[in-house]
Structure 1
C-alpha cells in the first residue's frame, strides 16, 4: 500500500464527503481495528492499564475501544481541517487557563514553551492557536516516505503552523531563536522519547522516558514552561450546529512551572522542569485516558534492552 498516496488522497478528498458519512466510516474503521486486537491496540491497552490501575482487564479493553474511536476521530478531523471555516473553528475549540496563564506573556511580546501529550486533536489546537492566539512554531517527527512528510508539512503549513523537522539541523537552536523573537507559542509533543536522549520521569506511578525539548527551550530562551492537555468534549445546541460536528476540544493550559534554582546543574534543572509538566499532564491523561493516543512504548519497563541501554548511556 502506498501510504503517502493514501494520505494525500484523504487530505484532498475527505472534505467532499458529508460529515455524517465520514464520521460513520471512521467509527467503523476504529471498531474493526479494535476488534482485530492487533499490536497497536494491545500497546494502547498496556499503556492504559499502567495509568489506570483502578480498572480490571475487561474495563481496560472497553476503554481501548473508546480510545480507538478518539484516535480515528483525530484523523477524520485532520483530513478535513483545511476546509473548516473560521466560524466552525471557533465553535470547535474551548480554552481553559489561557487568559490567566499565557495571554499576559503573549500580550507583552513574550513566548511560552508548551509540553503536549498525544491527547485529543493537537492539529486542531494548532490551527486555532495560529489563527486566534499567536504564531505557532513546533517540531515534527520525520515521516517515511519523504513524499508523506512533504505532504504533512504542506498540511501543517496550510493551518498556519511553522514546522521544524526533527533531526534536520539544530532544531533546539531554531526553537530557542523562535522563542526569543517573542509572540509565539511553541507546542511540542513530548510524552514520548523519540531519540533515546530524553529524560526519565515518573508518569502516573511508573518510570517513563519523555522528550527534554519543552524544558530545554524554557531554560535556554528563558520563557515559561506549561503543560497543555487537549481533550474532546461533546457539543450541544447552537455550538454543535455551528461547529458542524458533535465533537469539540478543550485546550487546558496548566499554570507555568516554577523556574528551578539557577545554582543547580543544567541537567537537574531540565529534569525538574520535565517532571513538573509530566505531573501536570498526568492529570489530563488519567482523567481522559481514552483521548490519549499512545500506541507506542513510553514506559521504561516496556522498552527493549537496546533502548534501555541507550537511555542509560544518554541519561
Structure 2
C-alpha cells in the first residue's frame, strides 16, 4: 500500500464527505482494528495496563476499544482540519490555565517550551494555538516514505504551524533561536524517546524513556517549561452545533516547572525538569487514558536489551 498516496487522497477529499458518514466510517475502522487485536492494539493495552493498575484485563480490553476510537477520531479530524472555519475551531477547543500560566510570558515578548504527550488531538491544539494564542513552532518525526513526511509538513504548515524535521541538522539550536525571537509557543511531543538519547523517568509508577527536548530547550533558551495535557470531551447544545461535531478537546496548561539549581550538573537539571513535566502529563494520562494514543514501547521493561542498557545512562544531548 502506498501510504503517502492514501494520506494525500484523504487530506484532499475527506472534507467532501458528510461529517456523520465520515464519523461512522472511522468508528468502523477503529472497531475492526480492535477486534482483530493487532500488534498495535496489544501494545496499547499493555501501556494502558501499566498506567491503570486498578483495572483488570477485561476492563483494560474495553478501555483499548475506546482508545482505538479516540485514535481514529484524531485521524478523521486531521484529514478535515484544513477545512474547519475559525468559528468552528474556536467552538471545538476549551483552554484551561493559559491565561494564568503562559499568556503573561508570551504577551511580555517571551516564549514557552511545552511538553506534550500523544494525547487527544495535538494538531487541533496546534491549529487553535496558532490562530488564537501565539506563533507555534514544533518538531516532527521524519516519517517514511519521504512523500508522507512532506504531506504532514504541508498539512501542519496549512494550520499555521512551523515545523522542523527531527534529525535534520541542529534541531535544538533552531528551537533555541526560535524561542529567543519571542512570542512563541513551542510544543514538543515528548512521551516517546525517538532518538534513543532520552531521559529515564517515573511514569505512573513505572520506569519509562521520554524525550529530553522540552528540558533542554528550557535550559538552553532560558524559557519556562510547561506540561500540557489534552483530552477529548463530549460537546452538547449550542457548542456542539457551533463546532459541527460531537467532540471537542480540552487543552490544560500546567504551571511552569521550577527552574533547577544552576549549581547542579546539566544532566541532573534536565532530569529534574523532565520528571516534573512527566508527573503533570501523567495526571491527564491516568484520568483520560483512552485519549493516550501510545501504540509503541515507552516503558523500560518493554524495551529491547540494547535500549535497556542505554537507559542505564542519561544521554541528554
Which 4+ residue blocks in structure 1 deviate beyond 2 angstroms?
A: 309-315
Task: Tell me which residue corresponds to 1:107.
Answer: 107
Q: C-alpha separation between the residues in 2 aligned to 1:254 and 1:71?
A: 24
Task: Tell me which residue corresponds to 1:177.
Answer: 177
Gaps of 5+ in 2: none
Give the aligned length: 315
Range that drifts further, 304-313 or 228-237:
304-313
Specify the SS of the correspondent of 1:94. strand
Q: CA RMSD in A?
A: 0.7
Task: Tell me which residue corresponds to 1:122.
Answer: 122
1:243 aligns with 2:224: no
Task: Tell me which residue corresponds to 1:277.
Answer: 277
Deviations 1:243-279 (A, max 9, x none): 0000000000000000000000000000000000000
Specify the SS of the correspondent of 1:29. helix
Task: Tell me which residue corresponds to 1:84.
Answer: 84
Gaps of 5+ in 1: none
1:312 Cα offset (Å): 3.2
Listed as ranges, the matches of 1:1-315 within 5 Å are 1-312=1-312, 315=315
Q: C-alpha separation between the residues in 2 aligned to 1:283 and 1:297?
A: 20
TM-score normalised by length of structure 2: 0.99
Q: C-alpha separation between the residues in 1 aligned to 2:107 and 2:313?
A: 42
TM-score normalised by length of structure 1: 0.99
Contact 2:200 2:314 in 1 (8 A): no
Contact 1:231 1:291 in 2 (8 A): yes
Contact 1:106 1:183 in 2 (8 A): yes
Contact 1:196 1:314 in 2 (8 A): no
1:314 Cα offset (Å): 5.3
Q: C-alpha separation between the residues in 1 aligned to 2:147 and 2:294?
A: 25
Q: C-alpha separation between the residues in 1 aligned to 2:8 and 2:228?
A: 29
Deviations 1:259-306 (A, max 9, x none): 000000000000000000000000000000000000000000000112
